[in-house]
Amino acid sequence: MSAPQGFLRRYVFSVDHKVIAKQFLFAGLVFLALGGFLAMLIRWQWAYPGRPVPGLHTLLAASDGAITPPVYQSIFTLHGLTMIFWAITPVLIGAFGNFLLPLQIGARDMAFPRLNAWSFWTFLLSGVLLLASFFAQLGTSGAGWTGYPPLSGPTGSPGVGQTLVVAAVFVTGVSTIMGGINYVTTVIRLRAPGMTWFRLPVTVWGLFLTSVLNVLFVPVLGSAALLLLLDRLFGTAFFAAGAAVGPRGGDPILYQHLFWIFGHPEVYILILPVWGVVSDLLSFFGRKPAYWYRGTVYALIAVTVLSALVYGHHMYQVGLHPLLGKAFMFFTVLISFPGMVLVMNWLSTLWRGSNRFTPPMLFALGTVFVFGVGGVTGLSLAGLLTDIYLHDTLWVVGHFHLTMAAAVFLGSMAALHFWFPKMFGRELNSRLATVHFGFTFVLLCLVFFGQLLAGWSGQQRRLADPYQYDFIKPLLPLNKATSHAAFLLAASQLLFVWNFFHSLFRGKKAEANPWNVGTLEWTHAPSPPPHHNFDTIPTVVRGPHEFSTDEAKARGTDWLPQAEGP
């Protein structure tokens, strides 16, 4: 299989899964910068409410550069949407899913290469729609990232900005479904000879199960977005209260059901690939087999199944029948058990391992810590009674940022530092990466622990100026300190930006297998891999975590490749 000729066919309109992966990566990093910038505006408002933001007069459309309540609503709405759909999803699933799945299962490309290319360009179209909403006459969306009607309806959010955002969500959902179908088919149909289900790297399991959830539940979100577009553009009333529009009216609660039927599986859509990456990296750099590999896989499958049964804990306060609330509470607590299996397996893998604290390992260890704290803080939200008091506070914000932001970000950094040599053929600066990890981990904890403390003290979320309430005024020093940590966190990411682009062009050329691990992408393909991945499709004879075995010791090494005979 020869590589296509010409710049456009090779690097722009390519159907090579590795090129498409890099396209997703760079697009996701751009939107990550946008989402991070919006987060800094939120933190400024919490620290200095009403004070002008230096140098942002024109951007904020305010005469003195201050963040007004409507602008604040738009800022936190677009921050949430951008981070979830246009930053985390393309980096973690679009980039690493595309790059790793064929290489790790021994395939030459995705099952549907053209559909793969269309998936990226559809995603890019959705990003254009999102950015266009910023320039709409009445501004972009301000209805919250969940887009609840009637706030997101034609009365609550007049103007084309909200319509563009809803359309962008629908279009990016189409892209995600394309990718999910491709990923599922690729893993089922294109595994190399001998690559049985229980010889797959756990990273593949995480990406595969994420894709299953995407195929099942993103259409539900797409349906909600499509019905909301019909309400906005054609005067239908799927989500308009009946009393407001007469006998043809619908129900805004219907939207919440549709959104959260997708929305809670989305939490696991984002974290499952991270769990897979962490499970592999702890074994790779602990230089010992992953503890109870099958148990980890069964735990991932259990989480995937149970994720469809817990969405109602987001709706305890909408008037659900008490028996429904108890059922959702039961399943929400139940889903924590496979999560505990994962954490215990990770700790057991580390125990008495020959741990090597490389940058990918450090980011993986940081992921374990913040995910553990995020999971524990979520138990209080699983209960009906405690959720009533905590649901509208920053406790919820701190909890889901630890699980969906901190854990996913650190896990993505672990993956990027680990597979950067394979993707680009060059090495990142290890010392600079370690410093970047140190700043990022400490400051992430300070920011989100500060949110937990403010939420436990009663600070409500979604308020442009929470200090209008006297009981919240004493929290201003805490929010200032947390905001300053957030500003330092943002500044510390410049270390990564420099390391990434400097290494991309001038970094040390990477060896084919610098980490000495046995998965197929490291042992049977150069760095970076050629267009066709493998000259000969390998035959797999063992699992991905063969470290410090008797056979390896007999060969004078501590690892064995997956596709080499005894």
Residue-wise pLDDT tens digits, 119-176: 999 999 999 999 999 999 889 999 999 999 999 999 899 999 999 999 999 999 999 9
What pLDDT does 50 receive? 86
**For the chain, what are the domain ranges?**
18-554
Q: Model confidence at 94, in pLDDT bands (50, 70, 90)?
A: very high
Decide yes or no: CATH 3.40.1260.10 for domain 18-554.
no
* Residues near 63 by beta carbon (within 8 Å), at least 6 away in sequence: 57
Q: Is pLDDT of 505 > 70?
A: yes
Q: What is the mean pLDDT of residues 262-280?
A: 96
Dist CA 529 CA 419 (whole Å)? 12
- Classify residue 290 as exposed, middle or buried by CB count within 10 Å of its CB (0-12, 13-18, 19+): buried
Sign of the CA dihedral running 165, 87, 482, 316: positive
Q: What angle do CA 180, 181, 185 make, to 5 degrees?
A: 115
What pLDDT does 59 receive? 58
Q: Model confidence at 486, in pLDDT bands (50, 70, 90)?
A: very high
Average pLDDT for the chain: 94
Query: Of 18-32, 275-289, 314-328, where does mean pLDDT reach its minimum?
Result: 314-328
Largest CA distance in the chain: 80
Sign of the CA dihedral running 8, 10, 15, 20: negative
